[in-house]
Structure 1
């Protein structure tokens, strides 16, 4: 999970900076530009939150609960909680196992309804099936 999160973070804009380690050594590193957040699609997406927190301790994380209706097999949103300024942020959408894609499509629709541009949504997924 951590490797997928790190690859997603590589897609975010950053600036180079000098970091002082706890032992006092200088190191050339990078600093992410402000305005990034994660959104986990509950329940399985929550498994990726710790990997994101390990890499970016202060990152804001939103949640969305989407389940398929048993009769229609359509994805339905039951809960969504995002940072209030999500429309200004780049979003790492976390959903580890992608099958039909209906859940992710619905999640992107909800994010767009909250003002997020589709071009700033990065999907983090471990497995995808045809």
Structure 2
């Protein structure tokens, strides 16, 4: 197998840069499928089963596009019929980190796409008096500083993340002024 380093994956369905937030925020190209899934998970009459099904589909779309943002390298393999195929493979050293609890909903979607990817976890709690967010628990792969990280959290106050972490790129399926704070409760059945 021959390899050659390349940049990020090429895909005609590249996310759209959201101009209100600059290059740090990328939104999946809007289409009716995404809009329908967003509609179902926002409808208060949606059953938990339908909510989880639609959330998992949205998560999978975001995860797959997130993987396209990671570095690949060119490879040539020999097929079972002895022909050469010029393809690509991930550059090793990627990992996922889920922000507990809602972020754990995204782990299955990542594992469906990358069976052996390492996944870390972060538990963040907000002090009710000061509003300050603090990390209460973190477990990462030992070499996380050398890895590309897919940080997984299905609901996010995008502007605050972009303001505090200018090196982070946020990929989402939609930007909405109303954050669906019910996500974790509905997904895990604790509402």
Q: How does 1:88-127 map to 2 (within 5 A)?
A: 88-99=146-157, 104=161, 119=167, 122-127=169-174
More displaced 10-residue stretch of structure 1: 55-64 or 28-37: 28-37
Two-structure CA RMSD over aligned residues (Å):
2.7
Q: Provide the TM-score with structure 2 as the length reference.
A: 0.52
What is the CA-CA distance between 1:33 and the residue it aligns to? Answer: 0.4
2:119 to 61, 76, 83: 61
Match of 1:10 among 50, 65, 68: 68
Question: In the aligned structure 2, how far is the partner of 1:84 from the partner of 1:18?
Answer: 31
TM-score (ref. length: structure 1):
0.73
Distance 1:5 1:52, change over 3 A: same
Gaps of 5+ in 2: 1-58, 178-191
2:158 and 2:148 map into 1 onto residues whose CA distance is: 24
Distance 2:112 2:60 in 1: 8
Q: 1:74 Cα shift?
A: 1.3
Asked if 2 retains the 8 angstrom alpha-carbon contact of 1:67 and 1:75, the reply is yes
